[in-house]
Structure 1
């Protein structure tokens, strides 16, 4: 029997149940994975709360994990028992000690990348790669703004943005998080939830504004970030922690701002298998080179309620994981 965290209906973290399951043997083109670390993401909270509806209940959350292959099904030729792998994407089900997984989702890990690093980094790394390479390619002449620059995705965007040559302006809520953002490579850090972001950004850019801004809070905060972007630059929304996007979004991004808007889905991005494997290969390459995220906190799988409460309340920095 294997421990699994089930959700029988959407709602608060208290709705999680710790149960046992008989995983069974893998079928055709399937593997059985013993998890060593499980990624904890804000998308899990959206699914748990019902903001992102799940197809059926009871459900098992979790979009990424890393571990060791215990068994392989018929037709699996590229992987072997004992291989260390990581994965991202549908079907959900990572909140378990052991699970069955379509073999095509498994990405083999080199010895230089630990399971904890992979679980803390793969989904955020794929999101960062999508945002920095495909949505708005950044480079040596790019000036970018990162909201919550010490958070899970924000820290990845900050570090990888610098790696790709961009000038990074980060925003954080406290001096302690400002130190984290600076260590990650941010060139400038704006501190405080009530700070006039646009005024600070325009001061730092000689009145020009940034080329691209990554915003994950939404609500009225999105309008504050829009004012940081230069005309014909781009504002990218990657979350709705404080509320939905403004209803009059089309008018807000039009004249006099003339800003492009993107709200890309990493789940759609990785649903294309060829694109997923190509991008995941680059993410693993960067992780092996040391450009990744060590988990800032790890929780026992059985303490998933505490983990969700801490993530939802903003008590975590960087990337947190669950450990079976």
Structure 2
């Protein structure tokens, strides 16, 4: 049995970016069903903030990070879909991706096509598979249907804009600045709304001739949820998949009835990827979209691992555009 050391970002208590600590930790050999992966690039996602602040509680102390790309260094017994030397990427539990090398369960670690860079792999997995399940698994969206997508210039949003365009879905994107609106439009949004200068409920009504949209996809949470219900057509579905502005308060089922027999789904990626076969299928779908050129990965920011606190601050201040990666 051999071991090596790795830098890893760990928190000992919930809190602000200042609780993020860069430590040295030992890394051993993979056991049954595990692999050891040497990372090339790590991804940054809003779920990392939720875990750091305690909104999504973790046992302490705990390493952070849900996404990375790299190379398989060692394979434990029973792992058949990966081999030493394979290029891989993942978005997977448990947290711990903010590091140089780690041992982790192999089931959700996915082959990375040679056509894609490690940066692309680290930036696309969590956000890309989120878009994949929103468009294909929560409610299969048909060509010609209309979707309202909040924070359309963020990492998930820019992927959603491209995904929608590639499948003939009319996406209305909201963003906080004119610059971000134009970025969403350039990535495939059919319509854009600056929610700081326009009433998005009124604009959605204008765009849809008063009919409303089939689907709202909302990772913002508290600030946009109630008004978003007013953007849905009867029998429409609200997909709430994040809480960037805070958790959504309790909603009365009678409100949903009164607004048109609406449906609400509160989803999380890791419910979908818990099944290894489905996870690998989702990853192939996402990575195939990138290889084909239907979806391009926009990396707007790069931070060295030792500046992870600054990366968190930028993400929470909504100063980021597209995806953010941590370089090693």
- Relative to the length of structure 1, the TM-score reads 0.96
Question: For 1:145 and 1:178, how far apart are their aligned partners in 2?
Answer: 13
Q: Which residue of 1 aligns with 2:46?
A: 42
Q: Which residue of 2 aligns with 1:80?
A: 83
CA contact (8 A) 2:108 2:273 kept: no
Q: Which residue of 1 aligns with 2:22?
A: 18
Match of 1:140 among 138, 143, 146: 143
Report the RMSD for the aligned CA atoms in angstroms: 1.4
CA contact (8 A) 1:227 1:257 kept: no
Question: For 2:102 and 2:83, how far apart are their aligned partners in 1?
Answer: 16
Q: Which residue of 2 aligns with 1:175?
A: 178
Query: Any unmatched runs of 5+ in structure 1?
Result: none
Q: Which residue of 2 aligns with 1:245?
A: 248
Q: Which residue of 2 aligns with 1:312?
A: 316
User: How big is the shift at 1:313?
Assistant: 0.7
Question: For 1:76 and 1:243, how far apart are their aligned partners in 2?
Answer: 39
Q: Which residue of 1 aligns with 2:213?
A: 210
Query: Any unmatched runs of 5+ in structure 2?
Result: none
SS in structure 1 at match of 2:172 = strand
Corresponding residue pairs, total: 323
Question: For 1:223 and 1:263, how far apart are their aligned partners in 2?
Answer: 14
SS in structure 1 at match of 2:125 = helix
Question: For 1:195 and 1:121, how far apart are their aligned partners in 2?
Answer: 31
SS in structure 2 at match of 1:137 = coil
Q: Which residue of 2 aligns with 1:297?
A: 301
1:1-324 aligned at under 5 Å gives the runs 1-54=5-58, 56-193=59-196, 195-290=198-293, 291-324=295-328
User: How big is the shift at 1:220?
Assistant: 4.2
User: How big is the shift at 1:298?
Assistant: 1.1
Question: For 1:251 and 1:267, how far apart are their aligned partners in 2?
Answer: 30
User: How big is the shift at 1:295?
Assistant: 1.6
Change in CA separation of 1:141 and 1:112 when aligned onto 2, cut-off 3 Å: same
